[in-house]
Amino acid sequence: AQSVTQLDSHVSVSEGTPVLLRCNYSSSYSPSLFWYVQHPNKGLQLLLKYTSAATLVKGINGFEAEFKKSETSFHLTKPSAHMSDAAEYFCVVRDRGSTLGRLYFGRGTQLTVWP
């Protein structure tokens, strides 16, 4: 079975400080992992995805995530927050052993960036 736990429903940071959004997953098989971002009144945009080629994945807008199998984690980080990063972020797992292609979403983390 697959599931995703986003450990914080809300995260607040000051502009210019680091961002850490935490995600733990469970998967019966080798997982595909994704982070999506949703800005207000917008659809979901892919930030980055884990492809097993490298455990440290770089995405758009300076975000990156590290896959840690031993900890079943895929935390999202950014060295310096920008006001435009304020949005909701979703950690997503897909079971690569399944042909169904279903995605399992975490409940989301709302990121607030203070000036």
Partner 1 sequence: DADVTQTPRNRITKTGKRIMLECSQTKGHDRMYWYRQDPGLGLRLIYYSFDVKDINKGEISDGYSVSRQAQAKFSLSLESAIPNQTALYFCATSDPGTDSYNEQFFGPGTRLTVL
| Residue with smaller CB distance to partner 1, 43 or 115 | 43
Site for partner 1 in 77-106 (CB under 8 A): 90, 94, 96, 99-103, 105-106
Which of residues 18, 84, 107, 114 is near partner 1 by CB under 8 A?
107
What is the C-alpha to C-alpha distance for residues 67 and 74, in angstroms, rounded to an integer? Answer: 5
Q: Does residue 40 bind partner 1 (CB under 8 A)?
A: no
Provide the CB-side half-sphere exposure for 90 (13 A, CA).
Answer: 16
Decide: helix, strand or coil at residue 9: coil
Residue 79's SS3 state is: coil
Q: Residues in the site for partner 1, rule: CB under 8 A?
A: 4, 9, 32, 34, 36, 42-46, 49-51, 90, 94, 96, 99-103, 105-108
